[in-house]
Amino acid sequence: MVNSKIWLSSPTMHSNEMKFIQEAFDSNWVAPLGPNVNEFEKEMAVYIGIGHAAALVSGTSALHLAIKLAGVKRGDIVFCSDMTFSATVNPVSYEGGIQVFIDSERETWNMDPRALEKAFVKYPQCKCVVIANLYGTPAKLDEIRDICDAHGAVMIEDAAESLSATYKGKQTGTFGQYNTISLHGVKFLTVKMAIQNIVS
């Protein structure tokens, strides 16, 4: 019988990956952290152009931490991109917040700044906006940040799908008060490019 599995992203391990895994075992730094994670955080921060970075177990956990740091509490309104993966908005529910989805615009397929402005008219109490950059394409991040600033809302940029993309010459993952990226296998193309740039 032929194996009929279709893999989403099958793992592959080669020279440097095996070397670093063996190094982690040899130095007994399997958990919780260690020199490789520390160095990765430093290099990623330099690559993106930010002061510091913290590695977590997933993009979802990074978004959850960002939601907590933004101070979202039970009953708080949080504006979210309407076209995104559920992990972008699930952390709002974890904290008891209420997602209000903001429509996309045609140029980027991301959050529409005009729709966001209208949402603040309807929900002026909103204290947090989670914007996702879809399919490697940045949203109109400067416009969205200006709107958030004008309304005193914390902007969280979910750059999980846009690592290595730039907006007006600046790396995504740098526009919000809190920013997240992801190294999940389905983001392989942009992650591979970023890691090649870090390593070279």
3-state secondary structure of 6: coil
Interatomic CA distance for residues 142 and 175, integer angstroms: 8
Give the pLDDT score at 161.
Answer: 87
Neighbours of 43 (CB within 10 A): 16
Identify whether 63 is part of a domain: yes
Interatomic CA distance for residues 144 and 22, integer angstroms: 44
Identify whether 180 is part of a domain: yes
Identify whether 18 is part of a domain: no
Give the pLDDT score at 137.
Answer: 93
Identify whether 80 is part of a domain: yes
What range defines the domain where residue 195 resides? 37-199
Interatomic CA distance for residues 55 and 167, integer angstroms: 23
Residue 134, domain CATH: 3.40.640.10
Question: Which residues in the chain show pLDDT less than 70?
Answer: 1-2, 7-11, 184-200
DSSP code per residue over 109-157: SSB-HHHHHHHHHH-TT--EEEEE-GGG----HHHHHHHHHHTTPEEEE
Identify whether 13 is part of a domain: no
**Structural domain total, the chain:** 1
Give the pLDDT score at 129.
Answer: 98
Identify whether 5 is part of a domain: no
Summarised one tens digit per residue, pLDDT across range 97-130 is: 999 999 999 999 999 999 999 999 999 999 999 9
